[in-house]
Amino acid sequence: MAAWRSWAALRLCATVVLLDMVVCKGFVEDLDESFKENRNDDIWLVDFYAPWCGHCKKLEPIWNEVGLEMKSIGSPVKVGKMDATSYSSIASEFGVRGYPTIKLLKGDLAYNYRGPRTKDDIIEFAHRVSGALIRPLPSQQMFEHMQKRHRVFFVYIGGESPLKEKYIDAASELIVYTYFFSASEEVVPEYVTLKEMPAVLVFKDETYFVYDEYEDGDLSSWINRERFQNYVAMDGFLLYELGDTGKLVALAVIDEKNTSVEHARLKSIIQEVARDYRDLFHRDFQFGHMDGNDYINTLLMDELTVPTVVVLNTSNQQYFLLDRQIKNVEDMVQFINNILDGTVEAQGGDSILQRLKRIVFDAKSTIVSIFKSSPLMGCFLFGLPLGVISIMCYGIYTADTDGGYIEERYEVSKSENENQEQIEESKEQQEPSSGGSVVPTVQEPKDVLEKKKD
């Protein structure tokens, strides 16, 4: 009886899971060639996928959850997916070059999603891009609410001006990454001090920074640099994004599972420098920590000891390492100042020699990873071609050897036959030298035999 109940409960759970999957899929529309003509009336969040793509298959359940969530909250954004291999012409019109590609289509505009492939991050992207390009903040209460809700956001303060036009242009390009607001001077918190109006500010890390055209240069470039918190937990994707900012990245490379004092100490030093020296270094440096050294090792093409501190220039793959252990915050600050004044030599880079080294390193790493993850697959992928090549080489070698032997044997046989013929001819022409010697019988002519017969 108990076994029957367990079986019934298991079947019920399986049925619930299947129903949940069916319900989620019901809120994601399968798009075809008619989508091109009908899409302009709505805002669409579309996943362009390929049926054979492993990353696309991994995204599918997350995408179904996105569709269900967007429908349940009453979002005006419709969620769909399109097989880019079946409708390649439509996919190419939207600039799809890889799978999966997530785009929000809003009128004639198409926005690429480049963030983590999680449900919350994708939904946040859809809300941000589908709304107004620049959202107004009409009151201090609304301003405070935005500060609590968003870790990083930008605000234009003032009326119509050339700076506002630049702000709008920058927002249209960078809305995929962050939020843009506008407000009057009366709405701004009292702790904000503005030397001149209009102004553009970024609020993050419980403080704010004001854009200065003379020190910060182009507004879009400044926004792209300042859209990150001053200290963040790093991964490979975020390091790639930081490559466009031009900032150096000061990293504590640690093992978060390791509870030793040294790992926590280095992480704390980087956090203190990011917090206490923010005004001094935030224009040139991004701070953070990374769990594990696997990604850093591929970047440096070397085995980095954990825990340690490294400073990366992700725009040209250069890096800086200290030749001694960092003991305190003052050591780290001195290290950063030495990098800025050029007294610390940069390693790595993107020269031709470094690129060749990277090709060799990547090939070696790929082979090692294949053998580690699946030894049988590694033997098949690399052993089979090597075996075929070995057999071919052996066949060519043995064919040449046998041919030479046969040819040599033929030449020897031919020489022996010629010598034998010469010996026989000399015997036939030789005169009898003695009575006891045996003289070969010589056949007489035919006419002489006939006369003897008569």
Q: What share of the chain is helix, strand, coil (3-state, %, to 5)?
A: 50, 15, 30
Q: Is the same domain home to 256 and 331? A: yes
Q: Is the same domain home to 235 and 337? A: yes
Catalytic residue among 24, 56, 379, 393: 56
Measured in residues, the chain has a length of 454
Catalytic residue among 13, 24, 53, 393: 53
Q: What is the residue-level pLDDT of the chain in tens, covering all 454 positions? A: 555 455 555 454 444 333 344 444 568 999 988 888 877 778 999 999 999 988 889 999 999 999 999 999 888 899 999 999 998 888 888 888 888 999 999 888 889 998 888 899 899 999 999 989 999 999 999 999 999 999 999 999 999 999 999 999 999 999 999 999 999 999 988 889 998 999 999 999 989 999 999 989 999 999 999 999 999 998 888 888 888 888 999 999 999 888 888 999 999 999 999 999 988 998 899 999 999 888 888 877 778 888 999 999 888 888 998 877 888 999 999 999 999 998 888 888 777 877 787 777 777 767 776 666 667 766 766 667 777 777 877 777 776 555 454 454 555 555 555 666 666 666 555 555 444 444 455 455 555 444 444 4
Domain presence at residue 13: no
Q: Look at residue 175 in the predicted model and tell me its pLDDT.
A: 93
Q: Is the same domain home to 107 and 31? A: yes
> CA-CA distances (angstroms) from residue 427 to 368, 422, 423, 436, 444?
77, 9, 6, 16, 18
Tell me if residue 53 is catalytic: yes
Q: Strand 29-30 to strand 77-83: parallel, antiparallel, or no bridges (unpaired)?
A: parallel
Which residues of 139-277 form beta strands (DSSP E)?
153-157, 179-183, 199-204, 207-210, 231-234, 248-254
d(CA 21, CA 24): 5
User: Exposed (0-12), middle (13-18) or buried (19+): which is 253, by Cβ within 10 Å?
Assistant: buried
- Tell me the two tokens of residue 244: 């466009």
Sheet holding 347-348, edge to edge: 231-234, 285-291, 248-254, 308-313, 318-321, 347-348
Count how many domains the chain has. 3
Q: Is the same domain home to 237 and 341? A: yes
Q: Is the same domain home to 322 and 242? A: yes
Backbone angles phi, psi at 79, to 5 degrees: -110, 130
Domain end, chosen from 176, 201, 227, is at 227
The number of angstroms, rounded, from the C-alpha of 443 to the middle of its chain's C-alpha atoms is: 97
User: Exposed (0-12), middle (13-18) or buried (19+): which is 77, by Cβ within 10 Å?
Assistant: buried
Domain presence at residue 394: no
Q: Look at residue 79 in the predicted model and tell me its pLDDT.
A: 93
**Domain ranges, residue 82:** 22-114
d(CA 324, CA 340): 18
Q: Look at residue 409 in the predicted model and tell me its pLDDT.
A: 52
Q: Look at residue 7 in the predicted model and tell me its pLDDT.
A: 53
If DSSP codes are grouped into helix, strand and coil, which group holds residue 13?
helix
Query: What's 211's domain CATH number?
Result: 3.40.30.10
Q: Is the same domain home to 238 and 223? A: no
Domain presence at residue 136: yes
Which amino acid appears at position 282 of this protein?
A: H
Element (H, E) at 61: helix 54-72
Q: Using an 8 Å Cβ cutoff, are 47 and 63 in contact?
A: yes
